[in-house]
Structure 1
Amino acid sequence: MDTIFTRGPSLLSRLILACLLSVLLIILDARLDSFSRVRVYLNSLVSPLQYMANLPGEMLNQASSALTTQRQLLDRNAQLTRQNILMSERLQRFDLLRRENDKLRTLLGSPVRPDVRKMVAELMAVDNNPYSHQIMINKGTLQGVYEGQPVLDDRGIVGQVMQVGTTTSRVLLIADVTHGVPVRIMRNDVRLVASGSGTLNRLVINHVPHSTDIETGDILVTSGLGEVFPEGYPVGRITAVLRDESRPFAQVQAEPAAQLDRLKYLLLLWPADAPQQPVSEEEEDLEP
């Protein structure tokens, strides 16, 4: 049974009425400027809905951009770190050459020492033994690492490889009591041996006669003797010289040039007479 509440225009009539009203509004909007303010209000009303509709897409785009940017930054940072270590190693050698050329002009015609091959390694672990200073790096025999290979950071000599695995190696730091480095004073070429003291920030120079010309602040570099460390790389700086005539030798202490307590990226060197090693992708990045 039909009631008054169910009566009304048909769907077709409603559609025709809506179309006519739409056309009328379009004509009025085109002819008159009275609807401009209404459009502003309507746009303001619809804007939050548009932002909400676009929000998922914008979030996905921002997340994708953030991940891409972070990955690019990490890759760029790793590349710049390798280049920084390479340039630091070159500056160490160039500084030595400049000083030698200033002192000995006659050697300008001598043949230039051949460049050494090098590779960047990263610190993996630090030995927990308080009586030994050793670290683990992420390079091994697959990269051509060999026992006795010199290791340095961006400031100077760190130590030498003592054990080699397939993909990792163990490095003995110059601060270890069992380690010694043949050095010379850059100022006067006096040759000495710098030994580890068991403390990361101190080296000791043993068997130094009282008459030796050595002063606080003197720079120690590798002498090239012993055929382990190439000549001319910084080892440390003299921090204390105690001459007690009651003792047979002077007591001399030095501070390592390398930051042994803050190691992260290291540089492996292959001198000219070192065993040959395969060229890796990282080593290719270091080539000038």
Structure 2
Amino acid sequence: MVVDARFAVLKPVRSQMGLVLMESYWITDLPQRLWQGVAGQFGSRTELIAENEKLKTEALLLQGRLQKLAALTEQNVRLRELLNSSALVNEKVEVAELIGVDPNPFTHRILINKGERDGVFLGQPVLDARGLMGQVVELMPYTSRVLLLTDSTHSIPVQINRNGLRAIASGTGNPERLELRHVADTADVKEGDLLVSSGMGERFPAGYPVATVNQVIHDSGQPFAIVRAIPTAALNRSRYMLLVFTDSRTPEQRATEAAMAQEEADRKGTSAAPAAPANATTPAAPANDQGTPSAPTNAAPSSSAPAQPSATPAQPAATPEQPRRP
């Protein structure tokens, strides 16, 4: 033991002994493996029947879910078509991906893979498929940091979609909760009310979902009610999000430019319609021949080669008019 502990002389001997003892290990474990094999071969018939019934039930459920796949596929196509119609609204969006989360537990910030080179700007709104998530607070060439709505330093002007009541939604540091500040105790706020961005402050576009009211506490001794809401966006789960590029034009400017574009399109359409018959100069020559016989004679040399045959029928037209002149 002393030699084995202090020197490496016995290492080859230990290796050979391990090779010999491996056979004894295998022989020692043989009864256990034989018993497991026999037990597997002669399993309980009742257990096999129960397992078979369970598998049949699971297969039936999976087939029922599979039948909905066609309907879900069609719904996905319709939603994609709706997303492609974003060019008709006032905002332009660009898809960004989450690549990092701030490890500080007292701040709610995330890192996305779009930066200044992609046109991102400070204060740009960020949303996911369910609602607003936050705004860009730090720019880098290829990445950006986004401050989430639930950060304790963030606030956003909102309004209740049901009655238009305006308020300020502030973050609480809890990723599942927002609070409405300084809401009068007599204000018309109910559980389940949808809060949307009001557009005031010109930072967030108006009309996007922000949160849903889940708790309203009235205290007769306090001038303000306690209103708590749950963000509609999946702040802790969303992987892909949209960067909103707002349109700085006023509604009047947008309406005027849309009307001018429509008028220009109509003008091009009407000017293109008579252009086709204007090129057909050949049938116009006989009509002029019936009015004045001298007109086609002068027009023949100035016209192109296909217009020369029209001068041939003009000669008989001059023959019957010669007796009328005397």
TM category, shorter: 0.5 to 0.7
Q: What CA distance in whole angstroms lies between the structure 2 residues aligned with 1:218 and 1:262?
A: 23
Kindly indicate whether residue 221 of structure 2 is the aligned counterpart of residue 246 of structure 1: yes
What root-mean-square deviation, in Å, do the aligned CA atoms of Structure 1 and Structure 2 show? Answer: 2.3
Shift of residue 211, structure 1, vs aligned partner: 1.0
Shift of residue 247, structure 1, vs aligned partner: 1.8
Query: Which one of the candidate residues 87, 97, 117 is aligned to 2:83?
Result: 87
| 5+ residue gaps, structure 1 | 1-79, 91-112, 275-288
Match of 1:6 in 2: none
8 Å contact from structure 1 (residues 85, 154) kept in 2 = no
Shift of residue 248, structure 1, vs aligned partner: 2.2
Q: What CA distance in whole angstroms lies between the structure 2 residues aligned with 1:267 and 1:89?
A: 15
Match of 2:139 in 1: 164
Shift of residue 187, structure 1, vs aligned partner: 0.4
Match of 1:207 in 2: 182
Query: Which one of the candidate residues 242, 247, 258 is aligned to 2:233?
Result: 258
Question: CA 1:223/1:153 → structure 2, altered by over 3 Å: closer, same or farther?
Answer: same
Q: What CA distance in whole angstroms lies between the structure 2 residues aligned with 1:89 and 1:241?
A: 38
Could you say which structure has the higher helix fraction?
2
Match of 1:146 in 2: 121
8 Å contact from structure 1 (residues 186, 221) kept in 2 = yes
Letter in 2 for 1:209: A
Deviations 1:211-265 (A, max 9, x none): 1100000000000001011000000100000001122210000000000110200
Match of 2:107 in 1: 132
Q: What CA distance in whole angstroms lies between the structure 1 residues aligned with 2:118 and 2:95?
A: 11
Q: Which runs of 4+ in 1 moved over 2 A?
A: 83-90
Q: What CA distance in whole angstroms lies between the structure 1 residues aligned with 2:238 and 2:159?
A: 25
**Number of residue pairs aligned between Structure 1 and Structure 2:** 172
Match of 1:198 in 2: 173
8 Å contact from structure 1 (residues 114, 272) kept in 2 = no
Q: What CA distance in whole angstroms lies between the structure 2 residues aligned with 1:157 and 1:239?
A: 18
Identical pairs, percent: 47
Q: What CA distance in whole angstroms lies between the structure 1 residues aligned with 2:180 and 2:213?
A: 9
Query: Which one of the candidate residues 202, 205, 220 is aligned to 1:227?
Result: 202
8 Å contact from structure 1 (residues 88, 154) kept in 2 = no
SS at match of 1:142: helix
Q: What CA distance in whole angstroms lies between the structure 2 residues aligned with 1:156 and 1:249?
A: 27
Q: What CA distance in whole angstroms lies between the structure 2 residues aligned with 1:84 and 1:122?
A: 18
Deviations 1:139-164 (A, max 9, x none): 00110000000000000000000001
SS at match of 2:83: helix
| 5+ residue gaps, structure 2 | 1-75, 250-326
Q: What CA distance in whole angstroms lies between the structure 2 residues aligned with 1:247 and 1:259?
A: 33
